[in-house]
Amino acid sequence: EIVLTQSPGTLSLSPGERATLSCRASQSLGSSFLAWYQQKPGQPPRLLIYGASSRAAGIPDRFSGSGSGTDFTLTISRLEPEDFALYYCQQYETSPPFSFGQGTKLEIK
């Protein structure tokens, strides 16, 4: 089973700043089958990025994904107040289980 490790656990930033979230896989995701989700309290996750770098429908272009192999990054270029939330990465390499990272909490500084 592929294990995903996200860092940092908590990221404290101010609106307008740039956020960089990391997701590291225990083995290479050969086809970049890596997704990012945002979750706010009391809501289901919302797909942001799939295929490591493709934005989902309706996602603002301040969200971008990059990386390959074992190291992936979600970048939010200029934080808006509504961006403070939990963020999860998920791998869907070849076959299940499609594991999630443990999450990064993005909080207002």
Partner 1 sequence: QVQLVQSGAEVKRPGASVKISCKASGYTFAIYYLHWVRQAPGQGLEWMGIINPSGGSTTYSEKFQDRVTLTRDASTSTVYMELSSLGPEDTAVYYCARGTGYSDYWGQGTLVTVSS
Task: Report the residue number, 13 or 56, with the smaller CB distance to partner 1.
Answer: 56
Phi, psi of 2 (to 5 degrees): -80, 130
Q: How far apart, in whole angstroms, are the C-alpha atoms of residue 63 and residue 57?
A: 12
- Least separation, in Å, of the C-beta of 88 and partner 1? 6
Q: How far apart, in whole angstroms, are the C-alpha atoms of residue 48 and residue 21?
A: 13
Task: Report the residue number, 14 or 42, with the smaller CB distance to partner 1.
Answer: 42
- Least separation, in Å, of the C-beta of 41 and partner 1? 10
- Least separation, in Å, of the C-beta of 4 and partner 1? 10
- Least separation, in Å, of the C-beta of 57 and partner 1? 8
Please work out, in degrees rounded to the nearest 5, the angle formed at the alpha carbon of residue 97 by the alpha carbons of 95 and 103.
Answer: 125
Task: Report the residue number, 84 or 90, with the smaller CB distance to partner 1.
Answer: 90
Contact positions toward partner 1, by CB under 8 A? 1, 33, 35, 37, 39, 44-47, 50, 56-57, 88, 90, 92, 95-103
Phi, psi of 81 (to 5 degrees): -55, -35
Q: Are 89 and 104 in contact (CB under 8 A)?
A: no
